[in-house]
Each structure stands twice: as C-alpha cells, then as structure tokens.
Amino acid sequence: MSLALKQVFNKDRTFRPKRKFEPGTQRFELHKKAQASLNAGLDLKQAVQLPHGEGLHDWVAVHVVDFFNRINLIYGTISDSCTDQSCPVMSGGPKYEYRWQDDHKYKKPTAVPAPKYMSLLMDWIEVQINNEDIFPTNIGTPFPKNFMQVAKKILSRLFRVFVHVYIHHFDRVSQMGAEAHVNTCYKHFYYFVTEFNLTDHKELEPLKEMTSRMCH
C-alpha cells in the first residue's frame, strides 16, 4: 500500500470505530475465510460465492459488517470535503435524492444534508449490527426471520454512500490516490449484492453506466 493510501486509511480518519469479530467465533472464522479468498487475488465474482457447507445468513452477516467498516473508511477519507454547504442534500446527481427515515426521530422521509445523512446512517447500521437479536454472535443462536430483510435495507443504504462519493466527491478520491481501492471495494460490494439479490435494481440505477464499464 502506498504511503498516500496509508495516510488515507489510517485509523484517525475512520468515520466510526470498526466493528470487530471476536476471535474463536464462527463469524471470525468466516471473516478470515472471506478475507483470504479476497487476498488470494481471486476473481471478485468468485470470491463472493458462498463457501461449501457454510450458511447463507452467516456469510451475509460477515459481509454486511465488513462492508460497513470499509464504506465507513471510504466516506471518512472524503468527509472533510462533504459539508452542509457543499452537499446541502444527500444526492447522487440531479436525478437522485435520498431522504432519511427511521423508526424513531424521522418517521417520514426527511431531506437532510449529506453529512447528516451519513451520520444518521452509520449510527443506524451500528445499532443493527450490534444487536444480538438481529446479528447473533453465538454459534447455534438462530438468525431472526427478518434477518435478510434487515441486511437488504442496510446494504441498499450503504450503496447510496458509493453513489454520493462517486458522483460528488470522486475528484477528492482521485486526488488522494485512493481510486483503485475505492473501485475494488465497489466491485466487491456490487458482485456480492447481485450474487445474492440483496439490492433492488432501481437502487443500482444511479451508477448503472459506470458499473457496466467496471463490472462486466
């Protein structure tokens, strides 16, 4: 990794502390397996496939946490240039605007500046992935019936971070020499969500042209 990239991805710039898997847990072993297949220089399309004998829910859970950590880092690198002034709405170009909604403070879709949206999003995801009832860490504890639904919602919303970064802040990414890293992370994410049908096609629309150049 180049020095510039090391500075980009140093831990002081992380948008949130990383969620870690506990060594010795099944989830940790799967996480290591996922990392190993990536590091082996495997084709990303192959790397996302469910390993033989593993449970789909476990595989999805590990990736949701990994993508959360990585996308956090990516947003952290450009967060100084994403301000309420530069990005008064959370958008992906003129055609796409994302409004925030949750079950607590924001009962209706609400327009907020991009940094506020990112902060609400990361907080919201953190609550989900730290909730043992949704993301159980003990072997033998079953996943809830709505697990895939929750995972889909998290991944769809994380995709919006890519949309905003690529459309509004890619010059900053390039300036920092982080283009290859961000592109690899995007491809990995895209192949994963399409392999398991975890994101609606209409969510993927804003980056459709770029994706067809990059991922096919």
Q: Provide the annotated binding site.
A: 82, 87, 164, 169
State the Rg of the chain over Cα.
17
Going from the C-alpha of 205 to that of each of 109, 110, 152, 199, 211, the distances in angstroms are: 20, 21, 16, 11, 9
Q: Could you give the CA distance from residue 200 to residue 152 in angstroms, rounded to a whole number? A: 9
Q: Residues forming the annotated binding site for Zn(2+)?
A: 82, 87, 164, 169
Q: 156 CB contacts (<8 Å, ≥6 apart)?
A: 198, 199, 200, 203
Inter-residue contact 79 to 15 (CB < 8 Å) = yes
Q: Could you give the CA distance from residue 62 to residue 57 in angstroms, rounded to a whole number? A: 9
Going from the C-alpha of 113 to that of each of 67, 69, 127, 161, the distances in angstroms are: 23, 22, 21, 13
